[in-house]
Amino acid sequence: MTRVSRLFRRFSLPVLLGAMLVATGFAATTDRKAFSTSTTLSQEASTLTKLLDELHYNHDAVRSADYASVVPDYMGELDGQRLFFLGSDRARFAEEYGKNVYYNTAFLGNINAAYEIFYVYQTRVEERIAWIFENLKKDFDFTTNETYRADRAKAEWPADAKASDELWQKRLKFELLAEILNKKTPDEAKAQVRKRYERMLKNLSEIEGKDLAELFLTTIAKLYDPHSTYFSAETYEDFGIQMKLKLVGIGALLGVEDDICVVKEIVPGGPADLGRQLKPNDKIISVAEKGGEPVEILGMKLRKIVDKIRGKKGTDVSLIVQPGDATDSSVRKEIIITRDTVKLNSARARGAVFDLPIEGKDAKIQKLGVITLPAFYSEGDDGDTDSERSSASKDVARLIEQLKQQGIEGLVLDLRRNGGGYLSEAIDLAGLFIQKGPVVQVKNFNGDIHVDSDRDPKIAYTGPLAVLVDRFSASASEIVAGALQNYGRAIVVGDSSTHGKGSVQQVVEMKQLAKSLALSPQKTGAAKFTIQKYYLPSGASTQLKGVVPDIVLPSIEDYLPIGEADLPRALVWDQIASSKFEGEPVNPKVLSPLRQASQDRQSKLEEFVYLRKNVDWFKSRQEQKLISVNLEERQRQKASDDAFRKEMKAEKERIAKNDYSFKPFYLGPPPPPKIRAPKKDGDDDDDLDSFEENETYVKADVHLREALRVLTDAIELGRNKEAWASNRAPLTAITGG
């Protein structure tokens, strides 16, 4: 998992573990926590290592000697920007711990190296922050021609203390300049930077042994491939929420500012929203079960606050709240909320009917459907009736029926930003568009191949179909897009390729793997590990290469290191024999005119000029590895960047005026507008790809607009018998006919 903060890319573990925290008070760390491994955790560590060693798909490629890499990898997880550790630390840790990681973990359940390395990291951070505080008292020269490498994720750690000081002199200038360019005086910039490191010290002091254990054991799992991991009990609970799209709680997104819990957002339709008492910016002072003693949560970690507020469905939680609009800090009020199931509908499938004017035909409108699927989710059997239970395939089927009733002539399945989910849902969803047949082939580590097929002859939608993808479309998304492409059932449109994740993971609770863990009174975690690779019906793997669209559009994402091939220790690409299925890719005689028409638009339309400008600008910024710490030079660059953003924002607004009108469709009543805390000064509002507030679709979505036009071209081509290559209509495969 890539961990990124806005200012520091993979800056440090405190940023990772406190990503939701924005507390700022100084916390002394003279009273160090001493971490130790419980018997239960020791058994989990040993069990996990043996599980990976025996059952992971890639287990033959990992030897006990490879476990030496865990030490520098774990250091990198703690100190992702290579700012605090020294090169000498790495050498010492490799000598002391690197040679015995496998034996200690697998046979002894000993992960003390995780704690010992962290103690050194903690010391380095505290010493460096003390140095920072002293240096912030001095004046800084911003007239030199020095530069700073902003992304040090792949750099070496400074060799010794002297090299570290030289690095940090530039680093501190870099940070101060960022604040000065954000309209702060030098003194205000110093105060802001000091506050940042005070917050880091506080987060550092709140790290617990279980956090380090999770990080260390995950580092071991990632020796085998990038998608294997260890979940602590708390993380496993969060993982279940994400996959099922629901939790039991009050329905509020929380953060921490200056040690105070602040309501950031109210989830539409949740208990807090329905009660209309709790509002964004309200400060939660204490939490109590109904009739119980209130527990003050000032200064408490966000995870602990959330645990206290969550609870069993139907129970009451009492919150003592300071209203966000109160002018007197002593004002308090009690709010009692009944916990209930909160469905996270923002990740649920949604639909729309777009009206496209038909070129050359006065007042003619073509209705095209769009179904957006953010994830392949499933609630499972947890007490809901079948009509209430949601899953990706069932929700898409319901939306198809709604859109068909509106008379759509074609459909776009939007899988952008869909990182996958349940494999069974991918199979069922692909089955909505084909009569029946193989959807995916899976191969285990023994080489055994199993074909998973859609066995239901019913087709939910037989009309013209396009699938819209991007570099974030991964795993289950690639199965669906690739299978429909293999069958010739859809035209795939999007970035140069999808993500390239062609592996299947299984999640197993640790207590299911060992009797001693099942009997443990302590909560246990879970292992997510790769058990299979999957292949398309044609036998091609999507691993590394992804699914290549039939029609490629220019995209910023093609210049981001976000693909599977960019991940360390990614599995290799290979190919197996094709399965037997009734279908073939869309005939080149059909694709060629569609591709040519799209290329013509890409060379002429204003929106593609706008898109290419953004791509070129982003590419140039990505290639700029060294950043100047000269104030005048940075001011010139900022002025240039600000002017470009302003120009692009104006162009986007102008292009958006020509957006196609649409009517949204939801699974249930339309959701109420999101209630969010107002933006503060300094918040970034220039994200050209972000969703507009309370909008179903972004403005000037160039890729979606083009996918709709490609679909229109395909429909028109199907009507033009003169363009047919034979007696078989070009759209026979695309429409499932």
* pLDDT digits 0-9 by tens, 536-550: 999 999 999 999 999
Instruction: State residue 28's pLDDT score.
Output: 39
Short-list 339, 196, 212, 206, CA closest to 267: 339
Residue 430 included in any domain:
yes
- Residue of 596 and 668 predicted with greater confidence: 596
Strand segments, DSSP code E, in 445-519 are 449-454, 465-469, 491-494, 503-509
Asked if residue 354 and residue 339 are part of one domain, the reply reads no
pLDDT class for 6, splitting at 50, 70, 90? very low
Contact 648, 688 (CB under 8 A): yes
Short-list 22, 116, 19, 46, CA closest to 74: 116
Asked if residue 271 and residue 220 are part of one domain, the reply reads no
pLDDT class for 31, splitting at 50, 70, 90? low
Instruction: State residue 672's pLDDT score.
Output: 55
pLDDT class for 369, splitting at 50, 70, 90? very high
Residue 514 included in any domain:
no
pLDDT in tens, 338-358: 998 777 666 789 999 999 998
- The mean pLDDT of 279-296, rounded to a whole number, is 88
> Chain-centre distance of CA 617, in angstroms?
24
Other C-beta atoms lying within 10 Å of the C-beta of residue 327: 6
Number of domains the chain is built from: 3
pLDDT in tens, 641-672: 999 999 999 999 999 999 999 999 988 656 55
Residue 313 tokens, joined: 């469905």
Residue 519 included in any domain:
no
* Domain that includes residue 262, residue range: 246-343
Residue 652 tokens, joined: 């986007």
Lowest mean pLDDT among 3-7, 313-317, 570-574, 634-638: 3-7
3-class secondary-structure state, position 687: coil
Q: pTM for the complete prediction?
A: 0.84
CA–CA separation, 393 and 415 (whole Å)? 13
- The mean pLDDT of 387-401, rounded to a whole number, is 87
By residue count, the chain amounts to 737
Instruction: State residue 383's pLDDT score.
Output: 45
Asked if residue 113 and residue 34 are part of one domain, the reply reads yes
pLDDT in tens, 697-732: 889 999 999 999 999 999 998 876 554 443 344 455
Asked if residue 459 and residue 379 are part of one domain, the reply reads yes
- Phi and psi torsions of 335, nearest 5°: -125, 125
Residue 121 included in any domain:
yes
Instruction: State residue 5's pLDDT score.
Output: 28
CA–CA separation, 419 and 440 (whole Å)? 17
Pairing mode, if any, of strands 503-509 and 491-494? unpaired
Asked if residue 686 has pLDDT above 50, the reply is: no
Asked if residue 167 and residue 112 are part of one domain, the reply reads yes
Asked if residue 454 has pLDDT above 50, the reply is: yes
Asked if residue 370 and residue 325 are part of one domain, the reply reads no
Instruction: State residue 727's pLDDT score.
Output: 37
CA–CA separation, 272 and 258 (whole Å)? 24
Residue 97 included in any domain:
yes
pLDDT class for 270, splitting at 50, 70, 90? confident
Instruction: State residue 254's pLDDT score.
Output: 85
pLDDT class for 678, splitting at 50, 70, 90? low
What torsion do the CA atoms of 417, 420, 421, 423 make, to the nearest 10 degrees? Answer: 150
Asked if residue 412 and residue 325 are part of one domain, the reply reads no
- The mean pLDDT of 305-320, rounded to a whole number, is 89
Residue 515 included in any domain:
no
Calculate helix-pair angle for 161-180, 112-135, nearest 10 degrees. 60
- Residue of 193 and 695 predicted with greater confidence: 193
Residue 409 tokens, joined: 């002539």
pLDDT class for 243, splitting at 50, 70, 90? low
Instruction: State residue 596's pLDDT score.
Output: 97
Asked if residue 202 and residue 301 are part of one domain, the reply reads no
- Helices marked H in 181-224 — which ranges? 186-205, 209-221
- Residue of 243 and 417 predicted with greater confidence: 417
Chosen domain end from 293, 326, 343: 343
Lowest mean pLDDT among 170-174, 240-244, 255-259, 427-431: 240-244
Q: Output the domain CATH number for residue 553.
A: 3.90.226.10
- The mean pLDDT of 88-92, rounded to a whole number, is 97
Lowest mean pLDDT among 293-302, 375-384, 494-503: 375-384
Sequence-distant (6+) residues with CB within 8 A of 359 are none
- Phi and psi torsions of 304, nearest 5°: -70, -35
Instruction: State residue 670's pLDDT score.
Output: 63
Sequence-distant (6+) residues with CB within 8 A of 246 are 341, 342, 343, 344, 379
Asked if residue 209 and residue 294 are part of one domain, the reply reads no
Residue 524 included in any domain:
no
Which helix (H) or strand (E) element contains residue 366? strand 365-372
Residue 158 included in any domain:
yes
Please give the mean pLDDT across all residues of the chain: 87
Instruction: State residue 17's pLDDT score.
Output: 27
Chosen domain end from 343, 359, 380: 343
CA–CA separation, 222 and 13 (whole Å)? 17
Asked if residue 139 and residue 285 are part of one domain, the reply reads no
Q: Output the domain CATH number for residue 325.
A: 2.30.42.10
Instruction: State residue 466's pLDDT score.
Output: 98
Instruction: State residue 669's pLDDT score.
Output: 58
Number of Cα atoms under 13 Å in the Cβ half of residue 266: 22
Instruction: State residue 671's pLDDT score.
Output: 57
CA–CA separation, 304 and 319 (whole Å)? 15
Asked if residue 323 and residue 177 are part of one domain, the reply reads no
Torsion-angle region of residue 475: left (phi > 0), alpha (psi -120 to 50) or beta? left
Handedness of CA 440, 445, 449, 454 (dihedral sign): negative
Q: What is the share, in percent, of the chain residues with pLDDT greater than 70?
A: 86
Chosen domain end from 282, 317, 343: 343
Asked if residue 292 and residue 174 are part of one domain, the reply reads no
Amino acid at position 635, single letter:
Q
Other C-beta atoms lying within 10 Å of the C-beta of residue 156: 10
Calculate helix-pair angle for 423-430, 476-486, nearest 10 degrees. 30
Residue 124 tokens, joined: 């380095």
pLDDT in tens, 554-594: 999 999 899 999 999 999 999 999 999 999 999 999 999 99
Instruction: State residue 712's pLDDT score.
Output: 95
Which helix (H) or strand (E) element contains residue 721? none
Number of Cα atoms under 13 Å in the Cβ half of residue 406: 23
Instruction: State residue 626's pLDDT score.
Output: 94
pLDDT class for 448, splitting at 50, 70, 90? very high
- The mean pLDDT of 594-619, rounded to a whole number, is 96
